[in-house]
Amino acid sequence: MQYSSGTPPVQRLIEEFSRLPGIGPKSAQRLTYHLIRMPAEQAENLASAILSVKTRITLCSKCFHITENDPCTICSDTTRDQSKICVVEQPLDVMALEKTSTYDGLYHVLHGVISPINGIGPDDLKVKPLLQRLIDNDVTEIIMATNPNLEGEATSMFIHKLIEPSGIKITKPARGLPVGGDLEYADEATLGRAIEGRQNF
Amino acid sequence: MTGNRVYKTKAIVLKQMPIGETNRIITFYTRSFGKVAAVARGVRRPGSKFGGSLEILNHVQASIARGRSLDNVNECVVIESYQNLRKNLTAIAEGIYIAELVDTFGEDRSPNFSLFDMLLETLSNLDRLEHREFWILWFEFRLLHVSGFLPEFVSCVECGNGLDRTDHVFDPIAGGVLCPDCVNNYGTDQSWNVSVSALTVLRFFQRSLNLNLRSDSSDPYVDDLVDVKAFLRTYMRYIAERDLKSTGFLDLVRFKES
Ligand SMILES: [Zn+2]
Ligand SMILES: [Zn+2]
């Protein structure tokens, strides 16, 4: 959307906020009026934080996690177990799993999930780069940690079928993750237990 | 719809969209009210009161409260979750395709008991895992019937004359198959050829519309579904005026399975 110089700045900010996920017109107004009352310095910090996210954050060329440096800190940490890759839907899932401090392998972020009714298939996700990683590296275990719902399971089953002929061990987090919930909202204890007690796919 | 703020109905979960922090918009096909979208609050949190009840393709008993813009799901209890289907990737893709058809052809807030019942029946057929392609074609055929798009396959749609047991020209604008004489007078540039193999199954379906096909009905036809599958795919695309979104993934997993 392009704004003419005539669009009032308050209205413009409200409209920008309401384009964010989960922000309705009411919340957008509330945020805008909060910003108006905010000290100038704090507002500048916020603006520069937004800008530096856009200019300095990229995707890791190995695991596709969000990062400032490529490869990311996880991929370049040589103390981590390079033979395990945990496949997740989105960067927030990496952050949730890292908080448990129980998993010491690498990750692969798919950036979505197969959602046929929305026209999203494997080619819209980072599936091919995952297969390439398995060819280029000595990986012995893949942990399929997609969300425990129909589309997450279908995504895992699809990738499982692709990897199965290679003979690589494929596991998934143990039950304990309640069906229907999203990984990123699981508490640390549940998630930690689930990843420790993972089972064969 | 009644004046009550809360309504209860049997429903199938067709699709979900994340919204806000932990909510999803659930699209149901309900028995009593047709297609209904409602927000399930907190459903993305593990331990939410909904548990796994709002999973796509579940048959549920739902209690929904009318809201100012969107309705809200109050309660949802699973009646059937089709566990065999859920363990088979191709069956999942087929179930989602059926859900997309109902999402495309089903009307908002307008009940169609036949459509609901055949959706339920088809999910049960898919869950038995046998002859799934046949049951999907039978569903597509009846979907055309209940939504008023069913063409004529038995006799020429223009002159009514009987047709030889051979390939014929199908014209979607004329609304059916044309005899060789009528092709010249009434055929349009939208027409295409339909094989005798496809016509045999389509005529069997047409004769069977008032029957409840049982699992052994499919036996004589399971080996010869290629043409009728292609015909119904083309005709569905013509009616929907677009490719259905889930066909890409369905074709991919069917190909990998074969
Ligand atoms: Zn990385
Ligand atoms: Zn004729």
The structural domains of chain B, with segments of one domain joined by +, span 1-81, 83-258
Question: In chain A, what are the domain boundaries?
Answer: 8-56, 79-171
Domain A8-56 superfamily per CATH: RecR Domain 1 (1.10.8.420)
Residues A156 and A168: beta-carbon distance below 8 Å: no
Q: How far is A45 from chain B (nearest CA, A)?
A: 25
DSSP B6: E
pLDDT per residue as tens digits for the range A160-188: 999 999 999 999 887 666 666 777 777 66
CATH number assigned to the domain covering B83-258: 1.20.1440.120
Question: What CATH number has the domain spanning A79-171?
Answer: 3.40.1360.10
- Tell me the per-residue pLDDT of A41-88, one tens digit each, with 9 for 90 and over: 999 999 999 998 888 899 999 999 999 999 999 999 999 999 999 999
pLDDT tens-digit series, residues B188-245: 899 999 999 999 999 999 989 888 787 777 677 767 899 999 999 999 999 999 999 9
Cβ atoms of B224 and B199 closer than 8 Å: no
- Taking each continuous run of H as one helix and of E as one strand, the counts in chain A are 8, 7
Closest-approach residue (CA) in chain B for A18: B20
Say how many Å lie between the CA of residue A136 and the centre of ligand 1: 15
Predicted-complex ipTM score? 0.91
For A41, B55, B247, the CA distances from B50, given in Å and listed in that order, are 44, 10, 30
Radius of gyration of chain A (CA): 20
User: What value does the mean pLDDT take over residues B114-128?
Assistant: 96
End-to-end Cα spacing for chain A = 46
Q: What is the mean pLDDT of chain B?
A: 92
> Quick one: closest CA in B to A187, which residue?
B46
Tell me if A117 and B246 make a contact (CB, 8 A cut-off).
yes
Q: Would you call B118 an interface residue with chain A, using a CB distance cutoff of 8 Å?
A: no
User: Domain B1-81: what homologous superfamily?
Assistant: Nucleic acid-binding proteins (2.40.50.140)
Please list every residue in chain B whose beta carbon sits closer than 8 Å to the beta carbon of residue A148. 52
- pLDDT bracket for residue A91 (50, 70, 90): very high
Q: Which residues pair with B24 in a beta bridge?
A: B18, B40
Query: Using CA atoms, how far apart are residues A5 and A23, in angstroms rounded to an integer?
Result: 25
A8-56 with A79-171: one CATH topology? no
Q: Quickly count: other Cβ atoms within 10 Å of residue B197's Cβ.
A: 16
